[in-house]
Amino acid sequence: MAFGVEELRVLRRALALALHPTSASADDVQDCLRLAESLDEAMREGVRLRAFLVADLGRYRAALPGTAAGYLTLLDEALGAGYRPHPDDLAALSALRGNPTAAALLDRCHLLVGRLSARTRANTRPHTRSSAARPAAPSTPTVPHSRTRLRLLPLPGGLADAAGNTPEKQPEKKPARKPACLLYTS
């Protein structure tokens, strides 16, 4: 998040007011309230951007492997914005690990998932010694739901449609237009 000169001036005054609250004028209070509203709007915009990135990432992941380059770029951008990789992301990256970018992102995701799970374990660890007896959750990535369909669905435009398109049934093409002549006058 970047601040402009005016926002930094107001932020500096707001911090000074926090240290010495008795010297607050009505203008200073109004400026601080406007700054707070601007920060709230920036936070909401960040949430909207992350939601858009996650939705776009899901669309690209569902269309893999044809969208590998776009998916890898979006995943890298989403990870930079604080996105936590899901098991579907790990499975997709595992399938694409022949690509050097995918392999690097897979390593990055494993590190992020490892840090997150260690942080979660530290925050939820009971203070008894019986917690070591519990088995650890499996760390193997799951297959994305889009890859587990039992039936294949026919799509329009396949071989069945090609057999019905004979040369007699195809529409007649219009001849190409001649380019316009340019007149030069001197």
| Residue-wise pLDDT tens digits, 21-63 | 777 788 888 888 888 888 888 888 888 988 898 898 888 888 8
Tokens at 105, concatenated: 């992102």
Contact 32, 15 (CB under 8 A): no
Whole domain around residue 9: which residue ranges?
5-123+141-146
Q: Give CA–CA dist 21/25, Å, rounded.
A: 10
Task: Flag whether 183 is in a domain.
Answer: no
Residue 176 located in a structural domain: no
pLDDT (tens digit, 9 = 90+) per residue, 130-186?
A: 444 444 444 444 444 444 444 545 556 555 555 555 555 555 666 666 655 555 555
Q: Is 82 left (phi over 0), alpha (psi -120 to 50) or beta?
A: left
Q: Mean pLDDT across the stretch 68-72?
A: 89
Could you tell me the sign of the dihedral formed by the alpha carbons of 55, 57, 58, 60, in that order?
positive
pLDDT tens sequence across 113-122: 887 666 666 6
* Angle CA 37–42–43, to nearest 5: 95
The answer to whether the pTM exceeds 0.85 is no
Residue pair 88/142 in contact by the 8 Å Cβ criterion:
yes
Number of domains comprising the chain: 1
With respect to residue 115, please indicate whether it lies within any of the assigned structural domains. yes
